[in-house]
Amino acid sequence: MPPLTEPAVRNALAGFQDPETGRGAMQLEQIHRINLRDGKLSVTLGLTSWAAPLWQETGAELAALLRGRFPGQSVEVAVEEHRRPAEPAGQLGLTAKSVIAVGAGKGGVGKSSIASYLACGLARAGAKVGLMDADVYGPSVPHLFGINETPRLIDGKIQPVETAGVKILSMGLLVPPQEAVVWRGPMLHGALTQFVRDTAWGDLDYLIVDMPPGTGDVAISLSQLLDVTGAVVVCTPQDVALLDATKAINMFRKVQIEVLGMVENMSFFICPSCNARHEIFGSGGAKRRAVEMDVPLLGELPLDTALRVLGDEGRVFASFDHEPTRQYLEAIPHTLVGNLVRARRARPAMPTLPLL
C-alpha cells in the first residue's frame, strides 16, 4: 500500500475523468481541496451543473477509487459546484452545452409531456435548463406548465418565461390560445431562428426542444440552425406507434442528428386497488425496437391518472412529487446524462486553444 501523502493522492487522482468533458478532473482543476489529517483523507470534487444528475454517484466513484488505492484508510469525498460557462455554439450565439430534441413519429404519444418531464428532471437535479416548444402548430408546453403570460422584450431580446427552474419559450405564449398557426416551411424556419437567436436564454446546460410530431421541416431547420447533441424519440407499445417511431429515428439520422434513445410512454398500468400490473397496449415493444435500431431505451413511463391530472391542471412539474411514478420519471434524465457521460469519457473533448 502506498503511503498516504498528498503527492500520492494527486497521483491516484490523475486519471479520474470529469463527467462533462471526459478530460482529467485534476488537469481541469476540479479537485478543489485535498486534506490529510490524523490519517484521514478528505477530497472536495468540483463538478459542473451539467453533470448535476450524477453528482452523488460520481463522488462515490471517486471515493471507491481512493479506497482501492489506499486500502483501510478513511476516505470522504464532498462534491461542490465547479463553474464552467457554456461557450456560444454555432452562428446564432446560443450558449447551451447540450441541445436535446424530443420527437415522435406520430401525435398522441405524450411527446410534449416527456419533453417537459425531461426538462423538469434535469432542473430538479440542479442543471440550468431551457425548454423550447418548437411544436408550432400544436404548442402544449404552456398548458402543461400553467403559464399564459406573454414574454417580455428587453433590449431587442425575448425573455423566456421561467417556472419550476425551467426557462420556457413557446408559440403558445405569443398567439391567442384559440388561434391556429398556418405557416409554410420558410416561416417555420424564421420562427425557430428567432426562438434561438433573439431569445435571452442565458447560460444553459441543456436546451430541450419539443419537436412537432412526424417527419417534417422542423428537424431539417434544427439541424441547420444548431449543433444538436442528439434526439430522444417517444413512442407507445403498440406496433403502429413503433412503426412511426422507426420513421422518426431514420429521419433524425438522415439529418445527421444522433438518436440518444427511446422513451416508451403509457408502457403499463398499475391498478391502484390491487397493485397488479396490466399491459394495456402490449409489452416490451420499445425495448425490442430499440435493440433492432441500435439505440438505448431511456425509460418506460406507466399510465397514471395522477400524471394526467397534473398535466391538465398545468402542474406538470409536480409530477416528480407523485411517489408511484417518481422512480420512472427520474430514471429518464438520469439514464440520458449517464449515457452522454460514458460517451464523453470514451472520447474526451479536445481542449480549445486561443487564436493568436
| Cβ atoms of 12 and 91 closer than 8 Å | no
Q: What is the pLDDT of residue 356?
A: 47
Residues 118 and 238 grouped into a single domain: yes
Is it the case that residue 122 has pLDDT exceeding 60?
A: yes
Is it the case that residue 187 has pLDDT exceeding 80?
A: no
Q: Using one digit for the tens of pLDDT, what is the confidence trace for 202-227?
A: 999 999 999 887 666 777 777 778 88
Look at the alpha carbons of 239, 293, 277, 337 in this order and tell me if their dihedral is positive or negative: negative
Residues 171 and 45 grouped into a single domain: no
Is it the case that residue 77 has pLDDT exceeding 60?
A: yes
Tell me which amino acid residue 238 is.
Q
* CA distances, 148 to each of 30, 145, 310 (Å): 41, 9, 17
Tell me which amino acid residue 22 is.
G
| CATH number, residue 64 | 3.30.300.130
Size (the chain), residues: 356
Which range of 42-51, 98-107, 304-313 scores highest in mean pLDDT? It is 42-51
Residues 247 and 321 grouped into a single domain: yes
Phi, psi of 46 (to 5 degrees): -95, 125
Q: What is the pLDDT of residue 236?
A: 86
Mean pLDDT confidence for 8-19: 95
Tell me which amino acid residue 1 is.
M
Is it the case that residue 352 has pLDDT exceeding 80?
A: no
Band (pLDDT 50/70/90 cuts) for residue 273 is: confident
Mean pLDDT confidence for 34-53: 94
* CA distances, 84 to each of 100, 115, 297, 307 (Å): 20, 25, 30, 35
Q: Which residue has the higher pLDDT, 276 or 340?
A: 340
| Cβ atoms of 56 and 71 closer than 8 Å | no
Cell numbers for 146: 400553467
Helices assigned H by DSSP within the chain:
6-13, 55-69, 111-125, 141-145, 185-197, 217-225, 239-254, 285-293, 305-312, 323-346
Residue ending a domain, choose from 50, 81, 112: 81
**255 assigned to some structural domain:** yes
Mean pLDDT confidence for 162-173: 92
Mean pLDDT confidence for 320-331: 93
Residues 74 and 131 grouped into a single domain: no
**70 CB contacts (<8 Å, ≥6 apart)?**
1, 2, 4, 8, 9, 12, 41
Tell me the residue range of the domain where 271 lies: 96-346
Residues 299 and 324 grouped into a single domain: yes
CA 68, chain centre distance (Å): 32
Which range of 62-76, 78-92, 208-222, 237-251 scores highest in mean pLDDT? It is 62-76
* Tally of domains within the chain: 2
Question: What span, in angstroms and rounded, lies between the C-alpha atoms of 114 and 294?
Answer: 21
Mean pLDDT confidence for 306-310: 92
Band (pLDDT 50/70/90 cuts) for residue 4 is: confident
Band (pLDDT 50/70/90 cuts) for residue 30 is: very high
Q: Which residue has the higher pLDDT, 269 or 111?
A: 111
Question: What span, in angstroms and rounded, lies between the C-alpha atoms of 94 and 112?
Answer: 22
Is it the case that residue 186 has pLDDT exceeding 80?
A: no
Residue ending a domain, choose from 39, 56, 81: 81
Residues 39 and 128 grouped into a single domain: no
Is it the case that residue 346 has pLDDT exceeding 70?
A: yes
Residues 44 and 17 grouped into a single domain: yes
Flag the least confident range among 87-91, 151-155, 210-214. 87-91
Q: What is the pLDDT of residue 329?
A: 96
Question: What span, in angstroms and rounded, lies between the C-alpha atoms of 31 and 220?
Answer: 41
Is it the case that residue 283 has pLDDT exceeding 70?
A: no
Residues 250 and 333 grouped into a single domain: yes
Phi, psi of 76 (to 5 degrees): -130, 135
Band (pLDDT 50/70/90 cuts) for residue 182 is: low
Mean pLDDT confidence for 55-61: 97
Cell numbers for 164: 419550476
Q: Which residue has the higher pLDDT, 333 or 290?
A: 333
Residue ending a domain, choose from 27, 47, 81: 81
pTM here is 0.92
The CA radius of gyration of the chain, in Å to the nearest whole number, is 22
Phi, psi of 141 (to 5 degrees): -60, -45
DSSP H or E run through 262: strand 259-264
